[in-house]
Amino acid sequence: VEAMTMGERICIMNDGVVVQVGKPMEVYRNPADTFVAGFLASPPMNLIAGRLESSGAVTLAAVTGDLRLPIPDGLREGFANHAGKPVIIGMRPEDLHLDAGAARHMAPVALATIATEVLGPEVILVASLAGAGGHEIHARMPRDFHARPGEPLTLHFDLSQIQLFDPATTRALPRPIIT
């Protein structure tokens, strides 16, 4: 936390090896690999096994495949050479929203509440992905959010923030920045 708030540049190391160096928010929003994605922040990035389909959409087939996350147009070209291959899908907890709002790149995600953790200014939702083998994910919710264990709900994932990683190397797949 101190490095994120005080440093102009941070260096993330794993077993004595430099994994990524950069500005704190650059490293946070674009982690070089799954280690960095899971290292920064609490709760860390949600990492879910999936598969990149040739249609340009991600299906969470590795965790059971009902959830389909269409890749936005601006990202398809960058991910095209991984079509048909397994991937690890990364979703930051703050990129899951109660309302789709006016955002262009939102996808509904069906969940079942496991627990909530009230932290004062926010609530951390712990939930399982419906139709995806019950994979556990975390989402940052507003402080007035309430849900009971077992309660179903739908959040909306900001697809423009999707991260994809190669499961063989754990390295991030290159992605352009879209607006």
- Separation between Cα atoms, residue 4 and residue 40, nearest integer Å: 9
Residue 69: CB partners within 8 Å, gap ≥ 6?
A: 50, 57, 58, 59, 60, 89, 107, 157, 159, 162
pLDDT at residue 159 in the model = 87
pLDDT at residue 92 in the model = 96
Low-confidence winner among 38-42, 58-62, 74-78, 158-162 (lowest mean pLDDT) = 58-62
Q: How many helices (H) and strands (E) does the chain have?
A: 4, 12
The phi and psi torsions of 5 (rounded to 5 degrees) equal -95, -25
Question: What tokens were used for 170?
Answer: 């754990």
pTM, two decimal places:
0.87
pLDDT at residue 116 in the model = 97
The backbone region for 128, taken as left when phi is positive above 0, alpha when psi lies in -120 to 50, beta otherwise, is beta
Residue 170 has pLDDT above 70, yes or no: yes
pLDDT in tens, 46-70: 999 888 877 645 543 333 467 888 8
- Separation between Cα atoms, residue 135 and residue 22, nearest integer Å: 31
The phi and psi torsions of 151 (rounded to 5 degrees) equal -70, 125
Q: Which residue is associated with the tokens 């909306």?
A: 156
- Separation between Cα atoms, residue 13 and residue 129, nearest integer Å: 31
Domains in the chain (CATH in brackets) are 1-40 (no CATH), 41-165 (2.40.50.140)
For 54, 149, 166, 174, the CA distances from 27, given in Å and listed in that order, are 29, 34, 18, 14
Question: What tokens were used for 87?
Answer: 């991937």
pLDDT in tens, 87-143: 999 999 999 999 887 677 888 899 999 999 999 999 999 999 987 667 899 999 999
pLDDT in tens, 10-22: 999 999 999 999 9
